[in-house]
Chain A
Amino acid sequence: MFRYIVRRLLQMVLTFFGATFVVFALMFANQDDPLQALAGERPITESQRQALTERYHLDEPFIAQYWHYMKGMLTGDFGQSLTGRQIGDMLEAAWPVTFRLALLAAVIAAVIAIVAGVASAIRRGGTFDNVTLVFTLILLSMPIVVIAPLAQLLFGIQLGWFPPTSGADPSMWALLLPALVLASSVFATQLRVTRTSVAENLRADYVRTAKAKGLAFRRVISVHVLRNSLIPVITLIGVDLGNLMAGAIVTEGVFNIPGVGFNLARGIRTEDGPLVVGFVSALVIIFLIVNLLVDLLYAALDPRIRYE
């Protein structure tokens, strides 16, 4: 187990450098004239252009810029965005709210998906199963750019159940609507996977044995079936948690939550290379850690799995 974790950590270092390198290269290739992008349609004077170019090393070749960036990052300095703010501070301000939003969404999605998935697997072909099938199909076919403003208009403005925007330091209540919107983007798949997995395990030999032993149906489902069925679902939830943190660009924009997605969107719009790479680096780390945790969870769920 220990050796396995060390090996995975070493792999993570390589992945981390590879991923940031690719992102940096893409930002660099996309970058035309970030100073003009920042100024919008206003002209930039020559001496201003000169001063800013030197401050942000914009005139140096790609490798040199990447080197400057990595050198800073390894000493804990994420550098400055093109508007002169410390990216370290921006990360610190953005992460908590995104983390809370993603976690809330993940919990909502997982609870609904697992409960509904088990219920529809037990009565396959029943009314509940068919209704959830249609409902998940509808959700799967609606992109979040449609769901988010729609939910805001309906529940935030017309019905007034939730505040229409959340802001920087929202209460649990204010976060609930964006979390539901986010959850809707992932829970349909989780539900389908749970249903299939549970349905399959219900026909397994060990379930028949358990039933023959005279165990209560509840216990058969909750202890024997669910434990074996959750392995693929846990994988999915782990990956989704990463996606939720990264993929909140639209949701955070609509509900005005200044989190990670919000900053990424701004960085991309203003060609702010250091800003984008800083946030993506942090995201890469989150993805890697979540995936490692998911893999370790397998062992807890399935005694047959051992890591050497």
Chain B
Amino acid sequence: MPGKSPWKMAVGATAIALLAAGCGSGGSDDSAATSNTVSIGIGEPQHLIPSNTTESNGAEVLASLFYPLVDFDAQNQPVEVAAESITPDKTNTTWTVKLKPGFTFHNGEPVVAQNYVDAWNYGAYGPNGQGGSYFFEKIDGFADLQSKDPDGEEGPQKAPEPKAKKMTGLTVVDESTFTIKLSAPFAGFKSVLGYTVFYPLPKAAFSGDGVIAEGFEDAIVGNGPFKMKGKWEHDAQIVVEKVADFKGQVPKIDGITWKIYQEDTAEYADLVAGNVDVQTQIPIESLAKASADLGDRFKKSPNSSFQFVGFPTFQKEFADVNVRKAISMAINRQEITDQVFLGSQTPATSFVSPVVAGYRPNTCGAACEYNPTEAKTMYEAAKGPAEIKITYNVDGGHKAWVDATCNQIKASLGVNCTGQGEPKFADLLTKVEKKEPVGLIRLGWLMDYPLMENYLGPLYSTTGGSNYYGYSNPAFDNLVAAGSAAATPEEAIKKWQEAEDILVKDLPVIPLRNGQNVFGYSEKVNNVEVDLFQKVNLYKIEVVG
């Protein structure tokens, strides 16, 4: 093509390019404009198999697709939902679950006891690598489903097959009844059953004994009020529609579009423009303008998150309890929740979250009260270190408050305090494991089930899964165990409160803040509630007009 006009080439290329860019487009949400459906923003779920779903995005979607055995009332007491009754024996060791009749999965299969047992055995079986498997630890026979690598993780040998594939503690009595035998008595087990991992799976989920069918995760079949419409459109959306004549509580809306966002600021932009109806957690960057943008559609409600800093026990300079107490008293929690978090969090003055039964306000007492003069006197008398470090992970938006806390410590105690950022939480944990001098470590906790034990056990007991700082007090451990083994929930709470009193004396961590849901919704919807687990109440939300 020598000699001809380059314009022609350019125009031709442009036309082709524009055509290519334009084609394949489609309006994605024009159908939702008038119908009785809502769209709720989430992040891309990591997984949607119930036993592998431990983060809130997946849990929210599953809450629409499944109907749990128990749900929680306004006082966070468990109430039977898909279960007719859940009754313990005298020792709280064997629990009998009786299912309500008439429920079916979305594919027409009736829901039977075996569905629960199969799903739980799959979740607990070690080689399946399910993220929520630790929930089944309390069930008898769990240990036999795990295997240990004979030469450690790094070694060349593969781990042997676990001894068993089924937990001995689960027994099917008849079509609608099964029993759960625990390895130790636990009065609060009914509350545990409310969590996502305890949903049943239909027969269609399994392609063989204990093998999930290929593609099932993208088109989950549940027993809940909504069913999947089409497949999980990764990174885009998950659309669910109402199940005709659902036997349980019937929601007021006809369907939900779970819109997937990677950045919560993008989700907020869509919320303000009315392209998404509910955002369950408004990002801190957008909080300042949220009440101006949304008016009274900007709401707050309590959730279970609990933020604190821990003292690693290998850091000998913090061994004296008075040093820890002085640092705690040097921090003005109210100022930080107001200035840094713009009121989206509240100061914490106890070792458990206010949302659980048995919570008492201000158990921490004087130790959590801002008192710079006394703090300084106490700190100097106890000969606290002249250098304090707070290590945190930079990917969680923690820099602002860690720096603010450090400035308060500096001002109150007259020592040097620096915030030390690590790229990820995993890097922080690695340093703690190697016993490097990390100083104070930033930590947070979201509960799995609404019991005091869910804070006391994992965070402060010697074998607790999230006790990264190594606090260990046998008297405390015994009281937590005694509470779990108590005959009634009331007695359990009593023991757990006694255990919390020990924490006040020992102060292994400094409680800082309790989280809140700061959520907003569009003009299209009404009666929006966000619960303790950061989930929208799907049975109450309705479309306006």
Q: Which residues of A contact B (CB under 8 A)?
A: 32-33, 36-55, 59, 83-85, 89-90, 93-94, 96, 99-101, 103-104, 106-107, 110-111, 114, 149, 152-153, 156-157, 160, 163-165, 167-172, 175, 179, 222-223, 226-227, 230, 253-256, 258, 262-263, 265-266, 269, 271, 300-301, 303
Contact = CB atoms under 8 A, between A and B. Distances in A.
Nearest to B260: A258
B158 A36 contact: no
B306 to A, nearest CB: 12
8 contacts: A32-B427, A45-B465, A50-B126, A114-B10, A157-B272, A172-B21, A222-B6, A300-B1
B130 interface: yes
Q: Report whether over half of chain A's contact residues are helix, strand or loop; otherwise say mixed.
A: helix
A106 to B, nearest CB: 7
B269 A227 contact: no
B47 A59 contact: no
A170 B236 CA distance: 11
B133 A100 contact: no
B47 A84 contact: yes
B28 interface: yes
Contacts of B237: 167-168
Contact of B149 (A42, A50, A84): A50
Interface in B27-74: 27-29, 44, 46-47, 54-55
Nearest to A179: B21
A165 B265 CA distance: 10
Top 9 closest pairs, chain A to chain B, by CB: A47-B126, A168-B236, A51-B129, A258-B235, A36-B426, A43-B465, A164-B269, A256-B266, A47-B146
Contacts of B262: 253, 256, 258, 262, 265-266
Given A36-B424, A164-B270, A171-B25, 16 more contacts: A32-B427, A32-B430, A43-B466, A47-B127, A49-B153, A50-B129, A52-B129, A83-B47, A94-B235, A107-B21, A169-B25, A169-B28, A175-B21, A255-B266, A256-B270, A266-B262
A172 B25 contact: yes
Contacts of A41: 425, 443-445, 466
Contacts of B20: 99-100, 103
Contacts of A54: 158-159
Contact of A169 (B24, B55, B133, B273): B24
A46 B21 contact: no
Contacts of A111: 14
A168 B235 contact: yes
Contacts of A226: 6-7
Contact of B28 (A93, A110, A168): A168
A27 to B, nearest CB: 14
Contacts of B14: 107, 110-111
Contacts of B6: 222-223, 226-227, 230, 301
B128 interface: yes
B210 interface: no
A51 to B, nearest CB: 3
Contacts of A49: 153
A83 B5 CA distance: 52
A51 B127 contact: yes
Nearest to B126: A47
Contacts of B22: 100, 172
Interface of B: 1-2, 5-7, 9-10, 14, 17-18, 20-22, 24-29, 44, 46-47, 54-55, 126-131, 133-134, 146-149, 153-154, 158-159, 162, 217, 233-237, 259-263, 265-267, 269-270, 272-273, 275, 395, 424-427, 429-430, 443-445, 458, 465-466
B21 A104 contact: yes
Contacts of B10: 114
A103 B134 contact: no
Contact of A36 (B146, B154, B261, B425): B425
B18 A107 contact: yes
Contacts of B217: 84
B46 A258 contact: no
Given A39-B54, A111-B14, A222-B5, A254 B265 contact: yes
Looking at B22, B130, B425, B426, the one whose CB has the most chain A CB atoms below 10 A away is B426
Contacts of A101: 21
Nearest to B129: A51
A223 B237 CA distance: 50
A168 B27 CA distance: 11
A175 B23 CA distance: 12
B444 to A, nearest CB: 6
Given A48-B131, A51-B128, A83-B47, A258 B236 contact: yes
Nearest to B442: A41
A147 to B, nearest CB: 15
Contact of A37 (B17, B126, B260, B424): B424
B27 A152 contact: no
A161 B1 CA distance: 42
Contacts of B261: 165, 256
A38 B46 contact: yes
Given A45-B133, A46-B148, A103-B17, A165 B126 contact: no
A56 to B, nearest CB: 10
Contacts of A171: 25-27
Looking at A51, A110, A156, A179, the one whose CB has the most chain B CB atoms below 10 A away is A51
B398 to A, nearest CB: 12
Given A37-B424, A303-B2, A164 B25 contact: no
Nearest to B429: A36
Looking at A52, A89, A156, the one whose CB has the most chain B CB atoms below 10 A away is A156
A170 B28 contact: yes
B194 to A, nearest CB: 18
A103 B1 contact: no
A222 B297 CA distance: 58
B134 A45 contact: yes
A254 B10 CA distance: 31
Given A51-B126, A51-B127, A103-B20, A46 B146 contact: yes
A47 B146 CA distance: 6
Nearest to A255: B266
A123 B309 CA distance: 65
